[in-house]
Structure 1
Amino acid sequence: MVKILVLVILILASPLQAQTTPLEPGGARLMILHDRSRPVVAEMVKLTLRGEYDLTVALENLRFPDSKEYDWMQIAPDRWFQERIGGRMIQIFERDIALFPRQEGQIAVGPVVHELTHISRSGDRIALEVASAPASVNVIPFPHSRQPLTAKTLVLTDELSAQPGQLGPDEVLTRRVTIEALGTLAHQLPERPDLQQPWLISFTQPEQRETTPTPEGPVSRVVWEWQLRPRTGEPGVLPAFAFPWFDTDTRQIETAAMRPLPFGLAGFGSNVSSGASDALKQTGLMALIAVVGFTVALLILLWGRLPAVTHAIRRLRYNPHSAALERATAQGDLLALRAAAERYATWSGRIDPEQDRLLSLLDRAIFDTEADQSFRPNDWLANFLRRQRGPMPRTKV
């Protein structure tokens, strides 16, 4: 009874306090030692499984039980060494486990079973199972309403390939966010935020998550990457995203954040002025076209043939962005093609759902690394221009 009480006290005491009671000759015992008395939900609890064997161990296999109450992983190689206990040199086994409670309350751990094959003095191989007493961990609630996230250290890095508020006309911004934390598992790190905005073209790369064991605890890492570009030159702002986490050293809630980003094209105001100037320069041509169109339409009304002639006039109108479309297609420059197509469609004032679909198809060819690489700019442009001109209407005679 005294031995049992001593064992319980040792299990609940500091993690590195070894068993000091004498071990019977030829005896074996296994203990669970841990370093936290009241961890919060998801906080790493470092367990040391310690075996003391007055045996010559030839083979071994340790079984640590899974449970719906916790996650766990081994964080360091096993250690075998000799230690003097009760005046005799005893074979010592130690294994470090990181345990992460999933819920509050009393969490039961174990028993842990060590399967041994030892060699007797007569040279025989003898199988033996050594089981530890179960241990318990008293877990308290996570001190925040968000998803539990705890770490000894946590660093968020937000990298940008360019200035988001000074993008060039055909420039794509790459945003790469990395979160690294000591003392947590990869699946406990935050979920990827949604950066979609009505004014933004966004393509998301597959996220990367990994966990690396170290003697201090697992180091986990998640990487998110986006390709971003404004749909137009109008400025916008991507909001900030905050991730609260519990610092296991200071016992305080800290916050890691992705900063807000202003988005827009460089010189957007001058672009608007330039567009207005171009429009003024085209006023004379447009006035002449309007006069001719009105005259022809008035004449055709007399013969009831307005639809066909109106469509013919529309097809004769010169779109100043046609040359940029053809030049970008010839060069295979998809970013320039996308910009020219948007200006072409905006100038003509005729955009239909099929053209929206074609523009989305072009966006995917530009931004999506997993998209079909057989995209043909010439075929795409032919379909786009065909939709822009529209079908010839039938005329009743």
Structure 2
Amino acid sequence: MVRRILLLVFLLCAGGAHADSLRLVVPEAKPVVGEMIPVTLRGEYTRLIALETLTFPNSDDYDWMQLARDQWRDEQIGGRTVRVFERRLAVFPRRAGVLTIGPVVHHLTLVGVDNLREPFDVTAPAVTLPVAPFPAEGRPLSARSLTIEDTLSAAPGALRDGESLVRRVVLKAAGTLPHLLPPRPILREPWLISFVAPERRETRLTPEGPVSTVTWEWHLRPKTGEPGVLPAVSIPWFDTVTRQMRTAEIAAIPFGYASFGDNRSGVDRLPVADLAAGLLVFAAGIGAGLVAVLAGASRRRAGVLRTLRRLSPFDPARRRLKRLARTGDLPAIRRAADRYLRRRRELGLAVTGRETARLDEILYRPSEGIAPREAETAIRGLLNHR
């Protein structure tokens, strides 16, 4: 009888020792740097738990995140009802070599005899696994899948004069963290004006792990309208499903104003009225020159011509600038302003060099921020300059 009682006590103690346990469950694999390692922390308890706290340890060797809320449930193990605790995590190794995870301590407060509380710690031993180097040069990027969404606000090779192109690229990767996605590509060309919006990095939890996205946005405008090509951007990444390197690409795009091939939509061709006025001024200049020659004033011919042109009521450059101010065609307005100021310098009129400062401020900022009358107001100030 005594032997049976001792055996029963032994079995109860042995069963309790087996059940009150905590362990790290890690798949048998050889991940590469940056690859998500699914980790499950599992505890099995037989005693009544009043309180519990558990903090997963940080490390310089990995990044980690919790994938879901802790789960508590009852299971039948060895013929006994056991309280099971599970926490699902994802670990991302930062470097190659042997990776150590843990140990992890679960701090419990148990309900003892006479409802007394007693502290009780259960420790999950550390686990180790080998991590392979990232199989390519450059910044490691490992994911289950990776997609690129490239959205353009207009046809990039056929922009209207003065139009800005808004390019938005969304990079989405499953099985990685937002800060492990690559940095924003640099779109820089000698003929390009580029404004960038702040990037956005986000993550969404799924049962299979995090899905991270980064959004880049550029406001692009040609400097001269001359057509060019924005080159492609390649993003190498390791596919954790096929265990192979792959390359995602932000496609190359043609870029420029549609009007460039048609002499910039004819913005450099004078209308009939301006051409007639110009011919009249030209004829007046020729006539004044002949008068000066006949009068024997050849040494003062240039001064006489400047005086006649200054007093002439016909100024095609001024008329053209006023007409374009109503169209909102900023590049054409800027070129017409240069012609107007060049004529003033030729006539000896005052030019400070700061007349186009306000116009340049409007021209070289995103077009969405331009008020309808801003360009016209800037031109009116330029023409009223004396």
TM-score, structure 1 length as denominator? 0.78
Equivalence for 1:17: none
AA matched with 1:288: A
Structure 2 counterparts to residues 1-397 of structure 1, below 5 A: 23-24=15-16, 28-272=20-264, 274=266, 277-278=269-270, 281=275, 284-285=279-280, 287-288=282-283, 291=286, 302=300, 309=307, 312=310, 317-319=315-317, 320-328=319-327, 336=328, 338-348=330-340, 350=342, 354=354, 357-363=357-363, 365-367=365-367, 377=375, 380-382=378-380, 384-385=382-383
Give 1:287 shift: 3.4
Unmatched 5+ residue regions in structure 1? 1-21, 329-335, 392-397
What is the distance in 2 between the residues matched to 1:141 and 1:47? 20
Unmatched 5+ residue regions in structure 2? 1-13, 343-350
Alpha carbons 2:161, 2:329 under 8 Å: kept: no
Give 1:272 shift: 4.7
What is the distance in 1 between the residues matched to 2:42 and 2:308? 91
AA matched with 1:255: T
AA matched with 1:323: K
Alpha carbons 2:146, 2:174 under 8 Å: kept: yes
What is the distance in 2 between the residues matched to 1:32 and 1:146? 32
Q: 1:376 to 1:322 in 2, by over 3 A?
A: closer
Q: 1:361 to 1:26 in 2, by over 3 A?
A: same
Name whichever of 142-151 and 356-365 sits farther off.
356-365
What is the distance in 1 between the residues matched to 2:288 and 2:46? 106
Share of identical aligned residues, percent?
A: 40
Equivalence for 1:395: none
Alpha carbons 1:69, 1:103 under 8 Å: kept: yes
Equivalence for 2:10: none
> CA RMSD for the aligned pairs?
3.5
Q: 1:193 to 1:139 in 2, by over 3 A?
A: same
Alpha carbons 2:151, 2:169 under 8 Å: kept: yes
What is the distance in 2 between the residues matched to 1:219 and 1:154? 10
Alignment partner of 1:76: what SS?
coil
Give 1:69 shift: 1.1
Alpha-carbon deviations, 1:59-93, whole Å to 9, x = none?
A: 22111111111110001121111222232111111
Alpha carbons 1:41, 1:102 under 8 Å: kept: yes
Q: 1:272 to 1:325 in 2, by over 3 A?
A: closer
Alignment partner of 1:24: what SS?
helix
Alpha-carbon deviations, 1:271-303, whole Å to 9, x = none?
A: 358356538946735633653686799959649
Alpha carbons 1:240, 1:257 under 8 Å: kept: yes
Alignment partner of 1:66: what SS?
coil
Give 1:144 shift: 0.8
Name whichever of 256-265 and 318-327 sits farther off.
318-327
Alpha carbons 2:163, 2:367 under 8 Å: kept: no
Q: 1:384 to 1:148 in 2, by over 3 A?
A: farther
AA matched with 1:42: G
What is the distance in 2 between the residues matched to 1:383 and 1:269? 33
Give 1:307 shift: 12
Q: 1:223 to 1:141 in 2, by over 3 A?
A: same
Q: 1:258 to 1:176 in 2, by over 3 A?
A: same
Give 1:152 shift: 0.4
Give 1:54 shift: 1.4
Alpha carbons 1:176, 1:223 under 8 Å: kept: yes
What is the distance in 2 between the residues matched to 1:296 and 1:361? 46
What is the distance in 1 between the residues matched to 2:122 and 2:341? 81
Q: Which has the larger radius of gyration?
A: 2
Q: 1:296 to 1:104 in 2, by over 3 A?
A: farther
Alignment partner of 1:43: what SS?
coil
Name whichever of 317-326 and 179-188 sits farther off.
317-326
Name whichever of 298-307 and 40-49 sits farther off.
298-307
Give 1:220 shift: 0.3
Equivalence for 1:9: none
Give 1:168 shift: 2.0
Alpha carbons 1:297, 1:309 under 8 Å: kept: no
Equivalence for 1:4: none
AA matched with 1:133: P
What is the distance in 1 between the residues matched to 2:366 and 2:19? 70
What is the distance in 1 between the residues matched to 2:194 and 2:281? 37
